[in-house]
Amino acid sequence: MRKIKYVLLLLILCAAGYVVAAPWLTAYRISDAVDRHDSVVLAELVEFDSVRQSLKQQLNSRVLRELGTDNKQNPFSALGASLANIMVDGLLDTYMTPAGIERLMRGETPAPGIPESSPPQSPGDEAGHDPNDTKNPPERKTLFSDARMGYQTLDRFVVTVTDEKGREADFVLSRRGLDWKLTAIALPL
C-alpha cells in the first residue's frame, strides 16, 4: 500500500512539473521550429489569427496617432484611416510569415518583401561578408538569447526580447487546455 502512495505522489509531482514547465517547453519548441524553418510545427504553436489581430490593433493605433487622424474634425481623417488600414495590412503580410516571426523573435525588424518560402541564407550570402572567409562567419543572433521569460498569470506567459536598440517586444503565450500557444506580440511602439 505504501508503494502505491509513493508512485501516486511521484505521478502527481511529474504532472505538476509538466504543467509548470509547459510554457518554457513551448517557447523552446517555437525557437526550434523557427531555427529549422519548420512552418508546420510553427503553425501548430502559433495562433496566427490572434497574433495578426493583436499586431493590427497596435499598428493601426500607432499609424493613426502619427498621422493625427484621430481628430474627428479633420475632413481627411477618414481617408487617412483607410490608407492607414491598407498600410497596416501590407505590413502584417510581412510579419505573419515564418520568416517575419523569426526576425521578430530574434529582436530584428522584418524587411518588407521577404518571400515566405525563401531558403535560409548560407553565411557567405549575407551582405558585406566574404564567402571565402571561413574563419569569421557573420554572427547570427541566437533566438531568445537575450529573452526574459515568466508567468504573468496562470494562463499567460510572456517572453520578452530586446532588439538592437534596447526596445522590448513581448511574445505572449496563452494556455489552451494543457498546451500553450503564441497568441499575441506586443511590439515596442
The reply to whether 12 falls in a domain is: yes
Domain assignment present for residue 128? The answer is no
Spatial separation of the C-alpha atoms in residues 173 and 188, rounded to whole Å: 17
Domain membership flag for residue 132: no
Confidence of residue 172 (pLDDT cuts 50, 70, 90): very high
In a domain, 120, yes or no: no
Query: Within a domain: residue 158?
Result: yes
For residue 1, how many other CB atoms are within 10 A of its CB?
4
pLDDT over 60 at 137, yes or no: no
- Kindly state whether residue 126 falls inside one of the protein's structural domains: no
- Residue 109 banded pLDDT, cuts 50, 70, 90: low
Q: What percent of the chain has pLDDT over 90?
A: 12
Contacts (Cβ under 8 Å, ≥6 apart) of 186: 54, 58, 169, 170, 172
DSSP string, 83-130: HHHHHHHHHHHHHTSHHHHHHHHTTPPPPTT--TTPPPPPGGGSTT--
25 in a domain, yes or no? yes
- Per-residue pLDDT band at 119 (split at 50, 70, 90): very low
CA distances to 114, 119, 120, 142, 187 from 147, in Å: 25, 26, 23, 10, 14
Does the residue 56 lie in any domain?
A: yes
Grid coordinates representing 85?
488600414
Count: domains in the chain = 1
Which domain covers residue 109, as residue numbers? Answer: 2-114+141-186
pTM exceeds 0.85, yes or no: no
CA-atom Rg of the chain in angstroms: 21
pLDDT at 121: 45
Q: Say whether pLDDT at 25 is over 70.
A: yes
Section 59-70 average pLDDT: 70
